[in-house]
Amino acid sequence: MIRKFIFLFSTLVLFVLHTAKGQSIALSGKWRGSFLLETGGEIPFNFEITGNGPELNLHFLNAGEIYPGGSVIQKGDSVYVYLNQFDNLLALGIQPDHSLKGFFRKQNGQGEPFRVVASQKNKDRFPVTGEQPSVNISANYDVVFTNAAGKQTQAVGIFKQTGNSISGTFLRPTGDSRYSEGLIEGNRFSLSVFIGYSPLLYTGTVNADGSITGKQIGLKTVQSFTAVKNEKAQLPDAYSFTRVKEKESRFNFAFKNTAGKIITLDDKRYKNKPVIVTIGGTWCPNCADEAAFLSSWYRKNQQRGIEVIAIQFEIMDHFNYAQQQMLRFKKRFNIPYEQVFGGLAENEAVQKALPALEKFISYPTTLFIDSKGIIQKVHTGFSGPATGKFYTDLIRSFNETADLLLKK
């Protein structure tokens, strides 16, 4: 396995450097990038590089959203994009035609690298043939995803279409797929999304009865899906998935914060106060959406006598690594509440670290704890801004639940 990885990595290094001639180019402007899949095909994405001189920044462009990616450093014929939020890196070589070619990997070099190319010549996310759409898929849908093992997951599909342009998201019990953007021609469509974590491609065909048959394609996985139009499409109650084993038992934990200090709910800051505890990870896109909401919410509501703590489970079970990622996350979302490191981002590890919970399935999962330390509600997942009404409903429910905690 190690020998195979070294061979693959060496091949990709040659892939970056081949034909590069030590040149430097002006990087500012909009680009079209794509992940080249081993099975053939690609997952395209759009981004923009802004700034002057050595201080450049990259933003990902998805369906109107401009998402901060990271800093861009050009060294001779090489370009490095540090996607710090997800601890990822784009390492690219400048080609004679001023395109970029390289790979996407973890910043520490671990894991499998994936081939990436980018160009400013044609910025269309998907090839445009000029064929007009024969259908309009703007609607909500009941969706069922099926993975390679045959396991099925219920979801809600939310699509918007204007002419040939479409945008959409899929909301599962664990959270949504954020903003995806694409094209529909005839009865066939393609959507993609990438913000620096793991790119996804959705392709589909609209059938004669208005239903959809499609695929979700990632860097290493493929799932099929079917979708049926239903404007009242809903998921099961998000408060019904993860449960508390002993409902009247006081909840507590003891984890290190970013300064290495052990934090518990017995600390003066939290004792005899209602506390909202979110279980997530800095690598998790839905957790990022929740952090953006919670940071603002906490600043407005802390004076009411309520606290927030984030327990972060990371892709490496090392405090120094988690500390780095939590500090990056704090800076990225201007987080004013405490973050603590819970351990490795595996469901079994979460269950072991937080034995009071039963059937943990999602990052984030949010615990609403009253002033006596009793968990009153557990909310699974986070419906982000891309979900529209579902996001509005979640915020209303969140505020109602917080208000009830303050009255206890």
Closest CA to 235 of 322, 177, 172: 172
Distance of alpha carbon 216 from alpha carbon 300, whole angstroms:
39
Distance of alpha carbon 114 from alpha carbon 102, whole angstroms:
8
pLDDT at site 4 = 45
Closest CA to 313 of 332, 295, 287: 287
DSSP state of 240: S
The DSSP string of 261-296 is -EE-TTSTTTTTS-EEEEEE-TT-HHHHHHHHHHHH
- pLDDT tens across the length of the chain (408 residues): 444 444 444 444 444 444 444 567 889 999 999 999 998 999 999 999 999 878 899 999 999 999 999 999 999 999 999 999 999 999 999 999 999 999 999 998 888 999 999 999 999 999 999 999 999 999 999 999 999 999 999 999 999 999 999 999 999 999 999 999 999 999 999 999 999 999 999 999 999 999 999 999 999 999 999 999 999 999 999 999 999 998 889 999 999 999 999 999 999 999 999 999 999 999 999 999 999 999 999 999 999 999 999 999 999 999 999 999 999 999 999 999 999 999 999 999 999 999 999 999 999 999 999 999 999 999 999 999 999 999 999 999 999 999 999 997
Contact 32, 119 (CB under 8 A): yes
**Domain architecture of the chain: domains with CATH:** 2-119 (2.40.128), 139-229 (2.40.128.120), 243-407 (3.40.30.10)
DSSP state of 53: T
pLDDT at site 24 = 72
pLDDT at site 19 = 42
Closest CA to 367 of 358, 354, 376: 376
pLDDT at site 75 = 92
Beta strand pairing call for 200-206 and 275-280: unpaired
DSSP strands (E only) in 294-364 = 307-314, 338-344, 357-358
pTM for the model stands at: 0.91
